[in-house]
Amino acid sequence: MPNNLVNYGVTDNGIAIIELISDTDGKPLSDDRTSVNTYTREMWEDIDQAILNARFDGDVSVILLTGHGEKFFSAGASINYLNTLSPRYKYFFCLHANETLSRLEQTPKLVIAALNGHTVGGGLEIAMAADIRIAHKGNFQIGLPEVSLGVLAGTGGTARLARLVGKARAMEIMVTGRKFSFEEARDMDLIHDIYDSVGLEDFRTDVLDYAGQFTLPLAAAKAIGNIKRSVQSGIEIPLEYHLALERELQSDLFQSEDAKEGIASYVERRTPRFKGK
């Protein structure tokens, strides 16, 4: 990516990997700095471009978000960077971040966040825009502690956390600013699973193996995309309109090559080979 704050690549089986990589100032990582993967405007530009690359790549079925290193998925916005910005600039900074995460949510491809370490503040806000969150077992913390800085979680934090864990629990988490374990996050369905992988490399491999089941030709990527569109958009509208949207998305699938292949493979008692069309 242009600013060297995101590593981007695509596996042979169609998984786009977006890896955040920066120091505490949100700058490209040097050998003597810990990778905490804080973000700045420049990192958001890289994230945005990576999302667009994955969206338009017909060979990509799954997007995997993760952080560089063994300690942090992301510590959120660089406080040192924010301290240099005017209030008006900060407003547009949050707007750009919100637009980028909305673009991720509206991309009809499955998004998995691999939480390789601490996931706090804006790091959790990024992770909550994913469809599935898988964490690496360890003494790591997760939470939205922005209230301790006199602000709120303004990159979708208040909106997405309330939708994921419920209003009452979200309020308690954000007004206290407390950080908690991955195990507690799993208990409240904030994350889906915790992998007891030996190290970072094994964790990445295990998550990629999990993600592989959603790639072509094993999975009907077009159907997965339509499921995501129905859930993401439909939950915000009245039930009758959601049902209408669901019918239209289903009608689209009925006419697809993948639906024909799925039915044919069932009748012929063979494994389907989907094309995403």
Among residues 105, 146, 184, 261, the one annotated as catalytic is 146
**DSSP code of residue 77:** B
Query: Which H helix or E strand runs over 204?
Result: helix 200-212
Residue in 55, 48, 96, 105 with CA at minimum distance from that of residue 235: 105
CA–CA gap between residue 32 and residue 256 (Å, rounded): 52
* 59 close to 10: Cβ distance less than 8 angstroms: yes
Q: How far apart are CA 202 and CA 99, in angstroms?
A: 33
Alpha carbons 250 and 244: distance in angstroms, whole number: 10
Q: At what angle do helices 257-268 and 221-234 cross, to 10 degrees?
A: 120
Q: By the 8 A CB rule, do 117 and 138 touch?
A: yes
Q: Give the pair of three-digit tokens for residue 48.
A: 């945005």
Q: Could you confirm whether 125 is annotated as catalytic?
A: yes
Taking the alpha carbons of 66, 68, 70, 71 in that order, is the dihedral positive or negative? negative
For tokens 């991309």, name the residue: 107
From 42, 105, 125, 184, the catalytic residue: 125
Amino acid at 244: A
Let me know if 146 is a catalytic residue: yes
Q: Reduced to 3 states, what is the DSSP secondary structure of residue 194?
A: strand
- Which residues are part of the catalytic machinery? 125, 146
